[in-house]
Structure formats: structure tokens, C-alpha cells
Amino acid sequence: MPYSSAQPGYKSPKLSEIVQGSSGREYSIQSVLQDKQIPFGRVYLATNEFRNYVEKEIPQDLEIRASIYHRIGRHPNVRALIDTVPDRRMFVFRYLNENLLGFAQRELSLKLIKRILKCALQGLAALHEQDLVHNDIKANNIMIQTKECSRDADIEQVQLVDLEDTVHLSPGRATMGIQVGNWMWRSPEAHAQGPVEKSSDMFSFGLVCIYAMTQRLVLAVDESELLEGEDKLAIVLERQLSYFADESGFKAFMQYIGAESAWHEIFRVINSGFGKDQPRKPFALWDGNGLDGDFKAFIGGLTNFDPAKRMTAQQALAHRWLENV
């Protein structure tokens, strides 16, 4: 049974139903790409003539969310809002056929990986220049259009997508009191419910870069890994501290979230567990294909535990690891 959104009397469209956008263009609903349930809605594949589109239900705050897309405008590396279906509370976007989460599992050249990451970073830089914080940076929010009839993996376009959690923050302001983003990709301060600023996006982007290079979700925790009574989030925070925190960065982070934060004591207790019997595993000491000094320095700048010392998007674009890309 179709669910009702925040709008009284609303019903989700049926497959093959025709819906009309504000532009006058008509779209035929083909399939459900994702069902996020109440209150988030569904994402559909739709067609108009011979082109594919993504239609996303926006049950809540449609106008506010639309204003974010209007603020960023058209940028080649940020998915643009190309139409709306007001009576269905839907946004319409161009369809891209891959996301980085799946695409990175292929045998990709280092050159292509860098190109994809640089394109995504250019999109993030464009958001940050407008004082927009994405808040949900992850590999499956980087969409890729591959080239048709290409024997080898090659791409036409890379776009940062899903700006529905994006907020405009004037300089000096931050998001507080909520854990933004996905738990596998969050920054430490996002876990601690703020303050969340642009630097939080940069930490998450660092995790994306590690995934693209290693095909490893380094903060993912399977239920089979948990001991009885053990909390998944505690393991995530322990790994963040193990891989990315040094003494000075941890001290600065604790000052950043503040002693009044309920998470201050949680981080303190987890950090106190490291020692001879439980040594840290700093990313700077990891081995693997492509994990050279330049890449480790790049990740170190993105994932510094002190948010104030993380690279900005523009600084990351100028980093030596992305030279000649």
C-alpha cells in the first residue's frame, strides 16, 4: 500500500504512471530505485522519451531543500535540480548509471581513481564556497556516468549528489545536537553531535578516498564482530581514534566538542584503552598498493582529528597527490 507523506492525501505514484513536472515535461515512472520509508520517501527511475531521470520524493521541507539546489546553481560536479513535480512533492535529476561504492570494486587505474576523486572534490569545493555543508559525504553519494561502448572503465561525468541534508552555515555557525550523515562515513564531531562545519565533510571525504584506493570500508562493523553487549558505535569511534588521532589532535578535538558534551567522556574512555596491549594502528603506517607517502599525507590532511587543522577543499585540490590530474 502506498504510504502517505507529510502532505495530507498524498499517495506515491504507481509504476508506469505519468507525472508532469513544472517544466511541462512528462515522466513515466519505471521502477523504485530506493525506498527509504517514512519520512524520507522513495526514489524512482523515470523516463521521458529516450532519457532516464531520477525522481525523488521530498515529503518534508520541499521549498527549503529546493533553495539549496538553487543556491549552488549549475556546476558540472554537483547534481543539479532540473525539474520538480509539485503535486507529488518530487525533485527531478539527471540519471547517472554508477556510484563510487560499486564502481571502485572494479580494477581501476590510479589515474582514473584520482580523476573521479578530484571531480567529486571540485563539487564539494563549490558547495563550500557557497557556505554549504553537505553533511552526507559517502561513496554512494558520488555518482558516475560511464562511457558507452568503452571496453575499459572510463567515465563521462562525476557528480556529488543528495543535497537534501545540506545546510547553509554562515561563517562562525555550526550544526549542533544531531548526528548527521551515515555512521560508516561520519567525522568524529558528527558522531559527537557537533559542532559540525565544513571540516566534517573533509573528514568524510578522506574516508571516501581510502575506500576508493583500498576497496575497504574501514569503519564498517559487521554484527559478527560484536561481542555480547558490545556497541557498534564504540568500535567505530575506537577505529577512528586508532587510525587518525595523535595526542595533539585528540586534545584539540576534545576542546572542540567541549567538556559539556556528553560525548566528551565517551571519547576519553575509549581513547584511554590504547596502550601496550592495544596499540594504535595509524593510517600513516598502513601498507598497500598506492598507499605511498603522498597519499598518506593527503589523507592525513583530510582526517586530522583537530577539525581546525584539516585541509579545506581548495587546499586538497592543490595537494601534490592530485597534481596533473
Tens of pLDDT, residue by residue, the chain (325 residues): 333 344 555 567 888 899 999 999 999 999 999 987 766 789 999 999 889 999 999 988 889 999 999 999 899 999 999 999 998 999 999 999 999 999 999 999 999 999 999 999 999 999 999 999 999 999 999 999 998 765 667 899 999 999 999 999 999 999 999 999 999 999 999 999 999 999 999 999 999 999 999 999 999 998 888 777 788 999 999 999 999 999 999 999 999 999 999 999 999 999 999 999 999 999 999 999 999 999 999 999 999 999 999 999 999 999 999 999 9
Instruction: Provide the H-helix boundaries in the chain.
Output: 62-72, 100-103, 110-129, 188-191, 198-214, 232-244, 247-257, 262-272, 293-302, 313-317
- Residues forming beta bridges with residue 98, ordered by sequence position: 144
- pTM for the model stands at 0.93
Task: Give the sign of the dihedral formed by CA 218, CA 222, CA 228, CA 234.
Answer: positive
What is the chain's Cα-based Rg?
A: 21
**Reduced DSSP (H G I as helix, E B as strand, rest coil) percent helix, strand, coil of the chain, to 5:** 40, 15, 45
Asked whether the beta carbons of 59 and 7 are under 8 A apart, the reply is: yes
224 and 151 in contact (C-beta within 8 Å)? no
**CATH numbers and ranges of domains, the chain:** 18-94 (3.30.200.20), 98-322 (1.10.510.10)
For residue 321, the one-letter residue type is W
Q: For residue 84, count other CB atoms closer than 10 A to its CB.
A: 19
The residue written with cell numbers 581510502 in the block is 210
